[in-house]
Homo-oligomer: A and B are copies of this chain.
Amino acid sequence: MPEEKSFHMSPDDFRRHGHAMVDWITDYFTRIESFPVLSRVEPGQLRASLPSDPPAKGEPFDTILQDVEKLILPGITHWQSPNFYAYFPCNASGPAILGDLLSSGLGVQGMLWATSPACTELETHVLDWLVAMLDLPRKFLSTKSGGGVILDTASSASLCALLAARERATNFVSNQRGCDRTLVAYTSSQAHSSIEKDVQIAGLGRQNLRLIAVDEKFAMRPEALARQIEQDRRAGVVPCFVCATIGTTSSNAIDPVPEIGRICREQKIWLHVDAAMSGTAALCPELRHIHDGLEFADSYTFNPHKWMFTNFDCNCFYVADRKALIQTLSVLPEYLRNRATETGAVIDYRDWQIPLGRRFRSLKLWFVIRHYGIEGLQYHIRRHVELAQQFAEWVWKDHRFELAAPAPLNLVCFRHKGGDEVNQSLMDRLNRSGDLYLTHTRLNDRLTLRLCVGQANTTARHVERAWQRIQEEAANAI
């Protein structure tokens, strides 16, 4: 055979460039507050600066890294800035980034236990730890009837839950024959848009999703849910799935899960509970009341990649009855058959998710939990809640502003009393200034600003400065 050439990065070069990349990221963290939080580039600006043709020959790593600094950085909206208050956070931390780096380096596939046993077992173990850490019902433990899995996002978790609900409601016939009966799903009018998307994907049809009315706190009205279910039963369609939200995206409203749960149990409807951001708060015993009623849930999900210092993607999805989920999602071709699977003694996580392939994501979660310990996680979650509560108090005391919804945790919904135009202008000025980034929603059909405290490094001085800037721009906005 001919002599081998190699275009691969040598181990020595990997070490050198790897150190340089770690240094660049360290440097990025230390100067992150110097950048405008919201990127100021125009559409097409980055593309115009990139060569239209791919490189015929390889380029030095240093050149690539220079382009990161020069071309990529201006196009970044800095989600890891302590002045980022938009949407829900997607926070990260040193241990998470290094756990994820290890996952990239090992480069294993966790689709089957056999394809890398540590990938499956560490995931099961850490997800059982989290049952204890959040004081979730024990039925969600892998050692009981249920278990947890890491998915990419809460959207995928709710899709998996909906599919299992669809199958349970049809005796697993929908998988075989398609949806030949009209199945109905329920969530509040304030639930995440992914529920609507999931209902479309799963073939139920958007018109078979009932958006249940909410109360003055934007939480689902259980009596409206009960009424709608009754009406649907009378109409001869099949209620199969309810999604309750703990911390809605718009306003962090907490649906009354105990009441909703009792209805679901009585009606034999799958109850999924979406606590994407807010679930993390249950690390703190004094905030655990948000999980009241979880004993009724068939499935539950929260995202360590939102508020638990674990970089994206890391969604934790729990089911009370793993058999229903596995029966819904399992397809076993010959080329995946193996002894370990056939013994039944192992978990094959490919049967717990939409895709087949899967990354070793539990490493970063394990690193985070071990680095911070429960104590460290609790400290930072408590601080975020305190800071948001302090901010809400400042808003409440300022006669120009009003709170638009209760602020149970770390999200404050507020508005200037001057109306939609003033609020739009206020938000635009603040975001354009680069000093902070916040986003909006509509509550009671009025434009409402949202300030969510969840970035890992946000401290008192950042929130104080945010309020100061809001006050300054409020004076200008009128």
Contact = CB atoms under 8 A, between A and B. Distances in A.
A203 interface: yes
Contacts of A466: none
A440 interface: yes
Interface stretch (A228-236, A259-267, A287-295, A326-334): A326-334
A153 interface: yes
Interface in A142-176: 152-153, 155-156, 159, 163, 166, 174-176
A119 B73 CA distance: 10
Interface stretch (A8-16, A218-226, A395-403, A469-477): A8-16
A55 to B, nearest CB: 5
Question: Which applies to chain A's interface (DSSP): helix, strand, loop or mixed?
Answer: helix
Contact of A77 (B80, B96, B114, B249): B114
Interface string A437-472: 001111000000010000011011000100000000
Interface string A46-83: 11001001111111010110001001111111111000
Contacts of A202: 201-203
Nearest to A328: B200
Given A14-B94, A355-B153, A80 B101 contact: no
Contact of A53 (B71, B72, B121, B132): B132
Nearest to A332: B193
Interface in A342-393: 343, 345-346, 354-357, 359, 363, 366-367, 369-377, 379-380, 383, 386, 390
B178 A182 contact: yes
Nearest to A151: B355
A335 B439 contact: yes
Contacts of A25: 14, 18, 101-102, 105
A58 B371 contact: yes
Interface stretch (A204-212, A317-325, A414-422): A204-212
Nearest to A94: B9
Quick one: which of A163, A178, A334 has the most chain B CB within 10 A?
A: A178
Given A75-B117, A335-B250, A335-B439, A104 B125 contact: no
B18 A312 contact: no
Contacts of A73: 118
B43 A113 contact: yes
A175 B101 contact: no
Contacts of A45: 117, 121
A403 B175 CA distance: 37
A396 to B, nearest CB: 17
B456 A367 contact: no
Contact of A75 (B11, B23, B121, B132): B121
B125 A46 contact: yes
A46 B121 contact: yes
Quick one: which of A26, A174, A366, A442 has the most chain B CB within 10 A?
A: A26
Contacts of A436: none
Contacts of A38: 114
A8 B26 CA distance: 13
A33 interface: no
Given A56-B373, A64-B370, A156-B354, 4 more contacts: A11-B26, A39-B117, A41-B117, A193-B332
In the A-B complex, list the 4 residue pairs whose CB atoms are closest, starting with the nearest: A203-B203, A75-B118, A9-B94, A7-B376
10 contacts: A1-B464, A7-B377, A54-B132, A58-B371, A75-B117, A156-B355, A159-B201, A178-B182, A178-B205, A194-B355
